């Protein structure tokens, strides 16, 4: 996300040198202003931001470092409004969240994504199907429930949404659920009936949170509808979906400031792991090209067990990394979400994101070949790559529908990868990796001071 804005910020920063004059500051700000407006950041938000950066840079002395610092502060201020960040649990479980939004915004998908996000953090979640307006929504949530293995509360007997929600809450209380996510009815556009139904659910259920799910592709319309929901029902957070699409990103910069409700999550794809928390200072770090190592570490820790990671590290050091380990790690990578979203969090790599297009690592031809090969191996062969003699390789090639050369190539790649892993494992390896990352991150490393 934000690769376009991030690029133009970098270009503006590049226009300023140490001990520079007011003329070049104004030039840089003019460029920044143009690109923010082009990215659909609201004009008032843009004006305030530019003004703030101008005043602070001038106060501290015009130069690259001061400009960056001022920009960092002003962006953080714009993105931060009073209210919770990320997901907040109520003191007395279950935490009850009403999910609201217009039809097609991605509301039902987001219920699943949030449930998955919480499940990864070892929370017991109940999803409740109360979108009775769009008939397929109940079935859709049923499929998601099976896919992510999270319980669904639904009713087929024609009860009203308020009664279904009440019963779901009773179930959640008695069975000690941590979180209840209630999918509510959507409409094609805002209408009285929709607002009344939500207001009624709010009064009767007293939820801890009401999230408004908005489609970022609708640009400033997303902000306007969110403002109406805020006015009529009162919302505690916004989730912007489809941030992976052709969105310019401006809505995410301005929305919290414009409606004074925090942006809490961003949807970055159609799959269940494609949801990211929106934590302002981390986002600013990403906008300025300095990555978001904190979010990445958090994400990784939800899919990789620390004990297992240590064991694997030992194995790698001994050169014993085998095909089973490889398959398991591939599954873990899949759980992290799209390659694009991961790269965006790595310092210095954000620039690559826009060039990646729709690269789908897990479904690439190479990955399919590797998976096919491993599936054609015996249990023993998977545990010990050294067993693969010419005869065995021939059998595997036939089983996976590949040529001998293809099998040899993949095996060579696997051996090289194991060698690399060995090099980067252990304390010395970490140092190697850090120095590599440091070099990549050199232009923006000052921000971390």
Where do contacts with ligand GDP occur on this chain (CB under 6 A)? 101, 103-109, 134, 137, 186, 241-242, 244-245, 267-270, 274
Q: Helix or strand or coil: residue 100?
A: strand
DSSP 62: S
Q: How far is the CB of 320 from ligand GDP (least distance, A)?
A: 40
Residue whose CB is less far from ligand GDP, 69 or 113: 113
**Shortest distance, position 430 Cβ to ligand GDP, whole Å:** 34
Among residues 5 and 138, whose Cβ is nearest to ligand GDP? 138
Quote the least distance from Cβ 107 to ligand GDP, whole Å: 3
Least separation in angstroms between residue 145's CB and ligand GDP is: 14
Smallest separation, CB 271 to ligand GDP (Å): 9
Using omega within 30 degrees of 0 as the cis cutoff, is the peptide bond preceding 198 cis?
no
- For 403, phi then psi, to 5°, come to -85, 165
- Name residue 126's beta-bridge partners: 151, 180
Q: Which is nearer to ligand GDP, 187 or 422 (CB)?
A: 187
Residue 127 CB, nearest approach to ligand GDP (Å): 12
Going by their DSSP bridges, the two strands 263-267 and 275-277 should be labelled as antiparallel
| Nearer to ligand GDP (CB atom), residue 114 or residue 370 | 114
Give burial (CB, 10 Å; 0-12/13-18/19+) of 224.
middle
Sheet holding 179-183, edge to edge: 151-153, 125-129, 179-183, 95-101, 209-215, 237-241, 263-267, 275-277
Nearest distance from C-beta of residue 87 to ligand GDP, angstroms: 17
Q: Which is nearer to ligand GDP, 107 or 119 (CB)?
A: 107
Q: How far is the CB of 210 from ligand GDP (least distance, A)?
A: 15
Q: Measured from the CB of residue 221, what is the shortest distance to ligand GDP in angstroms? A: 15
Whether the CB-CB separation of 151 and 141 falls below 8 Å is answered with: no
Q: How far apart are CA 55 and CA 67, in angstroms?
A: 10
Q: Which residue lies nearer to ligand GDP by CB, 363 or 449?
A: 363
Token digits of residue 353:
């994101």
Give the Å distances, CA to CA, from 181 to 118, 170, 225, 256, 396: 11, 14, 21, 22, 47
DSSP three-state, residue 333: helix
Of the chain, the end-to-end C-alpha distance in Å amounts to 24
Residue 20's nearest CA partner among 75, 68, 74, 76 is 68
* Residue position matching structure tokens 């962006």: 75
CA distance 120 to 86: 15
Phi, psi torsion values for 413, nearest 5 degrees: -60, -45
Q: Which is nearer to ligand GDP, 106 or 347 (CB)?
A: 106
The tokens describing 426, both together, are 């252990």
Nearer to ligand GDP, 30 or 193 (CB): 193
57 versus 241: smaller Cβ distance to ligand GDP? 241
CB of residue 133 to ligand GDP, shortest distance in Å? 9
Q: Which of 369, 248, 380 is nearest to 324 (CA)?
A: 380
How far apart are the C-alpha atoms of 194 and 247, rounded to whole Å? 27
120/313 with CB nearer ligand GDP:
120
């Amino acid at each position: 996300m934000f690769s376009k804005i991030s690029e133009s910020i970098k270009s503006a920063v590049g226009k300023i040198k140490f001990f520079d004059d007011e003329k070049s500051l104004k030039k840089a700000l003019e460029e920044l202003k143009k690109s923010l407006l082009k990215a659909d950041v609201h004009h008032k938000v843009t004006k305030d931001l530019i003004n703030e950066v101008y005043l602070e840079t001038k106060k501290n002395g015009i130069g690259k470092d001061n400009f960056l610092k001022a920009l960092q502060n002003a962006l953080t201020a714009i993105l931060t409004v009073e209210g919770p960040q990320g997901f907040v649990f109520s003191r007395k479980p279950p935490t009850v969240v009403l999910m609201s939004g217009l039809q097609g915004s991605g509301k039902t998908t987001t219920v699943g994504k949030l449930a998955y996000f919480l499940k990864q953090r070892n929370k017991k979640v109940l999803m409740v199907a109360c979108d009775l307006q769009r008939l397929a929504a109940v079935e859709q949530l049923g499929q998601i429930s099976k896919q992510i293995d999270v319980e669904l509360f639904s009713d087929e007997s024609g009860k009203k949404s308020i009664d279904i929600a009440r019963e779901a809450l009773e179930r959640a209380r008695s069975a000690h659920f941590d979180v209840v996510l209630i999918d509510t009815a959507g409409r094609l556009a805002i209408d009285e009936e929709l607002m009344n139904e939500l207001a009624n659910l709010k009064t009767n259920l007293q939820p801890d949170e009401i999230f408004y799910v908005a489609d970022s592709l609708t640009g400033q319309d997303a902000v306007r509808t969110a403002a109406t929901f805020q006015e009529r029902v009162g919302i505690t957070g916004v989730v912007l979906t489809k941030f992976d699409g052709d969105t310019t990103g401006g809505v995410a910069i301005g929305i919290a400031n414009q409606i004074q409700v925090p942006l809490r999550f961003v949807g970055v794809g159609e799959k269940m792991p494609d949801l990211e928390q929106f934590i302002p200072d981390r986002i600013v770090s990403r906008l300025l090209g300095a990555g978001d190592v904190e979010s990445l570490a958090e994400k990784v820790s939800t899919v990789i067990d620390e004990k297992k990671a240590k064991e694997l590290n030992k194995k790698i050091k001994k050169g014993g990394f085998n095909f089973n380990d490889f398959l398991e790690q591939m599954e873990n990578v899949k759980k992290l979400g799209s390659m694009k979203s991961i790269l965006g969090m790595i310092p210095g790599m954000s620039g690559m994101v826009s060039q990646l297009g729709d690269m789908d690592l897990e479904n690439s031809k190479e990955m399919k070949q590797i998976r096919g090969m491993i599936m054609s191996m015996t249990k023993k062969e998977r545990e010990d790559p050294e067993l693969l003699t010419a005869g065995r390789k021939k059998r595997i090639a036939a089983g996976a529908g590949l040529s001998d050369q293809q099998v040899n190539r993949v095996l060579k790649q696997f051996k090289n990868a194991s060698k690399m892993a060995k090099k980067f494992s252990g304390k010395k390896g970490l140092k190697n990796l850090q120095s590599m990352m440091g070099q990549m991150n050199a232009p923006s490393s000052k921000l971390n001071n």
